[in-house]
Structure 1
Amino acid sequence: MNARIKHIVTVIGLMSFWILSSSYSQAQTITRLKGKVLDSKTGDVIPFANVSILGTKYGTQTDFNGNYYIESKEEKITVKVSFVGYSPETKSIETGKTLNINFRLRPLVTDLQEVTVKGKKERYRNKDNPAVILIRKVIANKDKNRKESFDFYQYNKYEKLEFDLSNISEKFRNRRLLKKFDFVFNHLDTSEITGKVNLPMYLKEQVSDVYYRKDPQDKKEVIRGERFTGIGNYVDNNGIKLYLEALYQDINVYDNNINLLATQFLGPIAPLAPQFYKYVIIDTLDFKGVKCVNLGFSPRNKTDMLFQGSMYVSLDADSSFAVRRVQMGFSKDINVNFVTDLRLTQEFDNVDGSGQMLTKDELAIEFNLLKKENGMGLFGQRSVSYKDYVINKPIIQKTFSGLKIEESANYNKQTEAFWDSSRHQTLSKKEAGIYTMVDSVTKVPAFQRFMNTATFILEGYKPMKGFEIGPVNTFYSWNTIEGFRLRLGGRTTPLFSERIAFETYGAYGFDDKRWKYFGSATLSLTDHNIYTYPIKHLRVSYQQEIKIPGQELQFVAEDNVLLSFKRGVNNKMTYNNVFQVDYLNESKSGLALNVNFKNIRQEAAGALHFDQVSSNGELVPNKEIVSSEVLVGLRYAPNEKFYQGKNYRIPIVNKYPIFNLRYTMGIKGVMEGQYNFHRLVAYANKRFFITPIGFTDISLEGGKTFGNVPFPLLTIHRANQTYAYQPEAFNMMNFMEFISDHYGAIFIDHYFNGFIFNKVPVLKKLKLREVITFKGLWGGISDENIPKAGNGLYQLPVDEKGNPVSYTLAKQPYMEASFGIANIFKILRVDFVKRLSYLDNPNAPNGIGIRFRMKFDF
């Protein structure tokens, strides 16, 4: 073949390739559709309407604001939109373009009804409603359709949780502050769910094996592999992982109450559901070869904590009315903060002819602080797939021993080969790049400066190399005895040492002209740092400080500047010199052991006096009380999860109870300890979900001190004279007002989550939430601990005129109640508190006390 012929053949070949490539490219042209679904009469948006491309598997739902996004490579496209109570609408679409198309659905009202009943909607009824008859059959059969009906099952589970910065605009990308981070925009991706441009920021993968036995009921999950992105030492990466797991936990659509966003929703298949939901048969269809009814459901009241969406109910010959597919979210009118969109999709398949098992599970949530439709936010999606089901094959007892969630050896150090073989689906190029992208970001100096500033603002610590200064909210405070107080302190970080940590501060009061200080050294007894759960450490500390007797605040420092503002008289304190050795051993089962030795020297300060009553009735002043105590404490918190900070925890409350038991023994003669005594304290609390009217938190506490001891070693009940509402204190009680050697207390808080306010036309737009509380305290002081002439005990505190300011609870219980309005500006709670007993005590507040609390909550 000569050169000319070769050239012609080459040209023809290239032209043929170009033509074929062009044809293929046209065939694969992507059509992108977005827009809104609206009510044709009112113009209101319709959330969670079904949008599908006929004849294909492509489909989606509208979000809270009625928006949809869908794309397809089909040559011919017909889009169908449907929703409960509306006539479906279909449109043929021009392919190969990005189009913005709105759909307007007509309510299901006949022309005759429109003429004869003007302005009135047809009343929805359960009676003789075929949709309600169907859902009641689903409810009646759900116990045999849920996977817990099997005697045994096991499967392999792959979970992927991704968090993105969502709705990235060109304007945002071009900001000067982000020029040093421009490499991250190479990882931008368009969400298949929202159609928004997102920047992946976090990825977690987990592979596990799950085992279940019906009788006796038990379940075990063994994590074979886990990895996730982190941002270095700025936050507790494991704490973030646990917090996200609590937000994106397993959901069983068959459950009566479904846990989501730290609260409970009444499920659409609960026995009570027909009283709160509306059901409509949308159409019948074929799903994976099975004839199904597409059953729509929505809340009767859009503001209630309920779902809306649709489910496919199977109608095959041997059907037990099983759910084959469900898509649901909730109304934009619901009283939930920071969430602009939520979608749950689950699919069930028949496994080996044994029954229905979950095979697809996706939960997508879009967060936005301001809930702006077009604003930037966070988009999180959890995708779970299941395979290798084994049904009703007996599982040996040994499998269920140990922890319910167990981590196999090196589960967090698996190789790439492990992940390549264990994933159910291959990571996309964008997903695979998240690990390296996040690691690169943490090395950029600008990011490090940003995180240092953010840590200082949010946690109150200024990071340095291996050390951080703070907390900033304790730098300045004041009280009646110290006057103006300055404090400066800090602590080491894991950059200094993974196993050893030091913490210290110094403070000075300008009125009492005395120094206060603290120092501690902590040794981790595990191979991880002292802050990582489960904690196992040994700590030695010494503190010289001024305190209000009986006040041990939770989560906050007592010299917090915000707690400097107090009502009433606050001139009785003690100077404390405290040496202690503390051993803490937590386990993943939820059981924790605490052993503590403490030597305390208490010196009266201000108007407080330690005066003994002599045998002839005279008061004999004493300078100090010295006690040496050994404490053994047990705490059991099954299934507890929390965000673990550097020196604090934010618990994620669930339905499981928490128990505390503490025994303290006072030892006379050890380090000059002056008293032998025994003290036993028990505490329990639990959250009770009462769907759909909120939840109730109940705490019970009781204690008894055995032995002959002065009042500073008895129980001085927790009072609160600040204007900050404190859940574990009595907010209308004065400091040191009540003292006991035996007592019982109850704390009841009910959160309605807006159930009442949501039904008031004006208030429901404000998304306010109602809280009611009751606190009761019973107790007293036994005869052996009542100060008497010659018994060596100290007189109970009195004021400058000799009038008592501390009392027993012998007459009646102390009680207070409150009504609170929460979720003001999404973060503020205001409580109106009323004291119900001991109103004749001097300085007792008789009116309504107003207290404030800041809390971030969904």
Structure 2
Amino acid sequence: MERPTPYLLIGLLFLCSVLGFGQTKVSGIVKDEFGDPVAFANVLFKNSTQGTITNDNGRFYMESEKRYDTLLVSFIGFETTEVPLASKVNYNMEVVLMEGSEKLDEVVIYVGKQSKKNNPAIDILKKIWANKQKNGLYKYKYYEHDKYEKIEFDLNTIDSAMMKSRVFKGMEFVFDNMDTSRITGKTYLPIFINETFSKVYGDNGRKLEKEEVLGTRNSGFEGNQSIYRFIEDLYSDYNVYDNYLKLFDKSFTSPISKTGVDVYNYVLADSAYIEDKWCYNIIYYPRRKNELTFKGDFWVNDTTFALKRINMQVTRSANINWVKDMYLEQEFELVNDSVFLLKRDYMLNDFAFKKKEKAKGVYGKRTTVYDNYSFDKPKPDKFYKTEPDPFSPGLAQRDDAFWEKNRLESLNENEKGVYQMLDTLRTVPKFKSYYNLVSILASGYVEIDKWNLDLGSVYSVIGNNEAEGWRLRLGARTYFGQNDPWRLQGFMAYGFKDKKVKFGIAGKVMVDKKNRIILSGGTRRAIDQLGGSLTASNDVLGRSVASSGILTVGANNRLTNIKMSALNVQMEPFKNVRVQVGAAHRDMKSALPDVFSLDYIDPESPTGISSTTKQFDIQTHLLYTPGRRVVGYGVEPKTVDNNYSLFFLNYTKGIKGTWGSDFDYEKLQLAYAQPFTIGGFGRLKTSVEVGKTFGEVPLSLLSVVPGNQTFFTIFNTFPNLDFYEFVTDTYASVHLEHNFNGRLFSRIPWMRKLNWREIVGVRAVWGSLSDENIALSSPTNIPLEAPTDKPYYEYSVGVSNIFKVLRVDFNFRGNYLDNPNARPFAIRGAIGFKF
């Protein structure tokens, strides 16, 4: 299942007087002489370098603090049109371009689809590539600078109908803080602001960088992990000089990249002095629709070929969901008369259900300002390896004096009013109801603030399996904030078929903040599906989707009744390196012994056979996740995204005799997972896992190849296998899945508008099972087989983004088709909000 973070954003879309006027505002549409809209036309204030590009529907909006009386509108193949501006504000203009061709300041304008040969714009682009390592921070071995970041969310397209709607009854005062976007011209209402000030240090030679956060300030949804995870994932940093820019977990082709010439048209449009430096202006726009590309323009210096300014706007035909408009803008500052360094980075996203012009939605805006650059001040390795104390008092919420001194870009009057407005809004009962609804959708928990308790997850209240029948499950956890140093959580469940109560309780506490030493432990009595994963876990409250799904394929009757208690200690000696040592005791027996037996040969039993395995294990594992980013510093930090690799090493030692433990054995497991973004060709997920058990153990302790009898697509499982169809004591598996993100379908004319995304996958496993282990579990009533003679494999093709939320995979079994009840074909799917 997809993670629920975007639900918070989608929920905000439902929660839909002072206006800030600049000196000149214009909006309208550009058409040709036949009345058809002209997309990607260049709109410019005359005698300035301020301009914009019309969108796919020929529409534009632009504003300036300066007063201008003429607008220049141009496009390849048309005559440049001068439009007089009668007043400061000129809305709903209609500009008609006539066919023709011309020259601007001795710069040749090419007509039609731009050629890659003899194009002066591409000649300049090649010089940008050749000089990019000499420009910006790359020029210096060591660097440091200040960084101020402001992230804001706003309700947009505010109109009188919205202001008078019942949704805002009793909250009309919020509209006193409305403003107008300088990018789109739409009115908006700020609902959330987060500010961060930090110091950044870097060493280009060793490719090291460290950011020390010196202060943060937020309003609106402080303490809500879901929105912070969403923000961190959404607004990851990017370098416009890279070939691909990662935005929304997708790779957009940069207009400055070497691959850009294959997907963009480039036009050398103008040249002018900017801050006493002669610069060229190049317009670019996509060659094809539906690809992850931008339209816009950039200014580049004529000697260093460093960027001075760039604007990037995603076309509405791009295969991306829930984003009506996305606009990026970077400005570079001249330093030392020859070096241009990033001064300001601005990003605006217009999130909406529909891409229609009048659709209401939510703006997500990030402004980052860089200042006080200094160079050639080396730092030792220890400096970069030392992490700041995240629990430092005063760091989280700095006072007004701190921000007056360190805020590198002032808040406007409406932004300043948001802090006070939201303090008032939180006292309004209706707003609390809206907030609680959105929070439940995002986190799955119902917050009880006065008790510092969360109830949930609401997504696991109802379940069904053949042992319990229909099942109700209620859970709860303590929650004071995202940096909680301790947490208690538990659940109770009742099955209407077996008429039994199940429960689990666990707790964890951080005893050392510096090394993140955490003690955890708990106990559980439940029915679970142990055949859903190869890698063992001491997570007391962990539960398999396979044992709680409402619908399954075939008979889901190979379930285990488990009683488990565990105690663990973990620490993080280095960033993203976690070491854990723990002990666990399990009692395991079949929940449905008539159809699924866990019996094994036991000479000490009066019958010679035992049905219950009692086992005490000591488990040690190492988890390394380079590149992983998290939100929160408490006992349960939340991962921001899945764009990181994973290395997992696990050693388990079973000790016979301890608390009635039945077996001596050892198990070694190694897993590696790595996502790859392959330029504009999509994203590849890979996973490799190997393991071996030393010693004789029964079925309950063997490594089961994870089948998938649910209707959901679950990575690292085999959808054409039943649970326990293959059992091993030695195994090796590999899973590959590639999502082309619609690159192939976009080349098929009749499929372009569907915005479907194609997925292909292949997975395989080899394993063996010793004769001794087969003999030990011979009393069981299910066949024991391992894919020894040849690896078992499957392959699949799938389509995602159907109606923007649905994914369907068609899975094919490659071999072992003669196995009893073998499924040669399976359909699986998933529902989730993905960009």
Report if TM-score (shorter chain) is over 0.5.
yes
Point out the more displaced range, 714-723 or 584-593: 584-593
CA contact under 8 A between 1:51 and 1:80: conserved in structure 2? Answer: yes
The aligned residue for residue 376 of structure 1 is: 360
The aligned residue for residue 554 of structure 2 is: 568
Tell me the CA shift for residue 756 of structure 1.
Answer: 0.9
Tell me the CA shift for residue 130 of structure 1.
Answer: 2.1
d(CA) in 1 for partners of 2:306, 2:484: 52
Select the residue among 61, 69, 79 that pairs with 1:77: 69
Tell me the CA shift for residue 543 of structure 1.
Answer: 1.2
User: C-alpha offsets along residues 143-163 of structure 1, whole Å, 9 cap, x if unaligned?
Assistant: 222421322222222222211
Which residue type is aligned with residue 246 of structure 2? N
Counterpart secondary structure, 1:632: strand
Matches within 5 A, 1:254-273: 254-273=241-260
Which residue type is aligned with residue 183 of structure 1? F
CA contact under 8 A between 1:37 and 1:105: conserved in structure 2? Answer: yes
The two structures have a TM-score, normalised by structure 2, of 0.88
Matches within 5 A, 1:524-539: 524-525=510-511, 537-539=518-520
Tell me the CA shift for residue 107 of structure 1.
Answer: 6.1
Select the residue among 474, 481, 491 that pairs with 2:477: 491
Which residue type is aligned with residue 811 of structure 2? V
User: C-alpha offsets along residues 283-309 of structure 1, whole Å, 9 cap, x if unaligned?
Assistant: 222222211211122222222222222
The aligned residue for residue 16 of structure 1 is: none
Give the 3 Å change call, closer, same or farther, for CA 142–588 of structure 1 in structure 2. same
CA contact under 8 A between 1:568 and 1:843: conserved in structure 2? Answer: no
The aligned residue for residue 436 of structure 1 is: 420
The aligned residue for residue 603 of structure 1 is: 589
Which residue type is aligned with residue 664 of structure 2? N
Which residue type is aligned with residue 833 of structure 1? N
Select the residue among 648, 653, 658 that pairs with 2:642: 653
Select the residue among 391, 414, 433 that pairs with 2:375: 391
Select the residue among 513, 527, 547 that pairs with 1:546: 527
Give the 3 Å change call, closer, same or farther, for CA 534–42 of structure 1 in structure 2. farther
The aligned residue for residue 295 of structure 1 is: 282
The aligned residue for residue 3 of structure 1 is: none
Give the 3 Å change call, closer, same or farther, for CA 648–609 of structure 1 in structure 2. farther
Tell me the CA shift for residue 839 of structure 1.
Answer: 0.9
Point out the more displaced range, 151-160 or 690-699: 151-160
CA contact under 8 A between 1:224 and 1:408: conserved in structure 2? Answer: no
CA contact under 8 A between 2:22 and 2:63: conserved in structure 1? Answer: no
Select the residue among 266, 284, 303 that pairs with 2:271: 284
The aligned residue for residue 794 of structure 1 is: 777
Select the residue among 600, 603, 621 that pairs with 2:609: 621
Tell me the CA shift for residue 74 of structure 1.
Answer: 5.4
The aligned residue for residue 274 of structure 1 is: 261
The aligned residue for residue 228 of structure 1 is: 218
Give the 3 Å change call, closer, same or farther, for CA 72–697 of structure 1 in structure 2. closer
Counterpart secondary structure, 2:617: strand
User: C-alpha offsets along residues 645-683 of structure 1, whole Å, 9 cap, x if unaligned?
Assistant: 9989565122x4221222211122222111122212111
Matches within 5 A, 1:152-163: 152-163=142-153
Give the 3 Å change call, closer, same or farther, for CA 74–470 of structure 1 in structure 2. closer
CA contact under 8 A between 2:590 and 2:598: conserved in structure 1? Answer: yes
Tell me the CA shift for residue 179 of structure 1.
Answer: 2.1
Matches within 5 A, 1:212-361: 212-231=202-221, 235-236=224-225, 239-315=226-302, 319-353=303-337, 355-361=339-345
d(CA) in 1 for partners of 2:459, 2:521: 25
The total of aligned residue pairs comes to 797
CA contact under 8 A between 2:324 and 2:354: conserved in structure 1? Answer: no
Bigger radius of gyration: 1
Tell me the CA shift for residue 411 of structure 1.
Answer: 2.7
The aligned residue for residue 53 of structure 1 is: 45
Tell me the CA shift for residue 166 of structure 1.
Answer: 1.1
Give the 3 Å change call, closer, same or farther, for CA 763–94 of structure 1 in structure 2. same
Give the 3 Å change call, closer, same or farther, for CA 714–105 of structure 1 in structure 2. farther
d(CA) in 1 for partners of 2:389, 2:635: 25
Counterpart secondary structure, 1:563: coil
TM-align CA RMSD: 3.2
d(CA) in 2 for partners of 1:583, 1:85: 70
CA contact under 8 A between 2:702 and 2:728: conserved in structure 1? Answer: yes
CA contact under 8 A between 1:473 and 1:561: conserved in structure 2? Answer: no
Point out the more displaced range, 495-504 or 286-295: 495-504
Select the residue among 31, 37, 41 that pairs with 1:44: 37
For structure 1, the 5+ residue unaligned runs are 1-27, 112-120, 528-532, 788-792
Matches within 5 A, 1:657-668: 657-668=645-656
d(CA) in 1 for partners of 2:328, 2:481: 41
Tell me the CA shift for residue 428 of structure 1.
Answer: 1.5
d(CA) in 2 for partners of 1:831, 1:258: 28
d(CA) in 2 for partners of 1:669, 1:84: 84
Give the 3 Å change call, closer, same or farther, for CA 213–572 of structure 1 in structure 2. closer
2:467 is the alignment partner of 1:481 = yes
User: C-alpha offsets along residues 37-57 of structure 1, whole Å, 9 cap, x if unaligned?
Assistant: 34555713525x443322356
The aligned residue for residue 703 of structure 1 is: 691
Q: How high is the sequence identity, in percent, across the aligned residues?
A: 32
CA contact under 8 A between 1:231 and 1:439: conserved in structure 2? Answer: no
Matches within 5 A, 1:46-195: 46-47=39-40, 49-56=41-48, 58-63=50-55, 65-72=57-64, 77-83=69-75, 87-106=79-98, 122=112, 124-195=114-185
Give the 3 Å change call, closer, same or farther, for CA 611–69 of structure 1 in structure 2. closer
User: C-alpha offsets along residues 489-546 of structure 1, whole Å, 9 cap, x if unaligned?
Assistant: 433332899555433333233333333222223334478xxxxx99764333221111
User: C-alpha offsets along residues 334-387 of structure 1, whole Å, 9 cap, x if unaligned?
Assistant: 101111111111122321235221122211111112233212111122222222
Tell me the CA shift for residue 481 of structure 1.
Answer: 2.3
d(CA) in 2 for partners of 1:849, 1:455: 35
d(CA) in 1 for partners of 2:370, 2:832: 38
d(CA) in 2 for partners of 1:703, 1:370: 48
Give the 3 Å change call, closer, same or farther, for CA 283–351 of structure 1 in structure 2. same
The aligned residue for residue 35 of structure 1 is: 28
Counterpart secondary structure, 1:274: helix
The aligned residue for residue 818 of structure 1 is: 796
Tell me the CA shift for residue 811 of structure 1.
Answer: 1.2
Which residue type is aligned with residue 751 of structure 1? N
d(CA) in 1 for partners of 2:63, 2:117: 41
The aligned residue for residue 416 of structure 1 is: 400
Give the 3 Å change call, closer, same or farther, for CA 738–386 of structure 1 in structure 2. same
The two structures have a TM-score, normalised by structure 1, of 0.86
d(CA) in 2 for partners of 1:306, 1:761: 18
d(CA) in 2 for partners of 1:748, 1:103: 52
CA contact under 8 A between 1:696 and 1:749: conserved in structure 2? Answer: yes
d(CA) in 1 for partners of 2:313, 2:501: 58
d(CA) in 2 for partners of 1:493, 1:743: 40
User: C-alpha offsets along residues 407-454 of structure 1, whole Å, 9 cap, x if unaligned?
Assistant: 977432423211111112222221122222223222222222233333
Which residue type is aligned with residue 667 of structure 2? R
Which residue type is aligned with residue 505 of structure 2? G
CA contact under 8 A between 1:85 and 1:280: conserved in structure 2? Answer: no
Which structure would you say has the larger RCO, counting Cα contacts within 8 Å and 6 or more residues apart?
2
Which residue type is aligned with residue 428 of structure 1? N
Point out the more displaced range, 478-487 or 534-543: 534-543
The aligned residue for residue 828 of structure 1 is: 806
Counterpart secondary structure, 2:184: coil
Which residue type is aligned with residue 369 of structure 2? S
CA contact under 8 A between 2:23 and 2:64: conserved in structure 1? Answer: yes
Give the 3 Å change call, closer, same or farther, for CA 608–245 of structure 1 in structure 2. closer
d(CA) in 1 for partners of 2:582, 2:598: 26
For structure 2, the 5+ residue unaligned runs are 1-20, 104-110
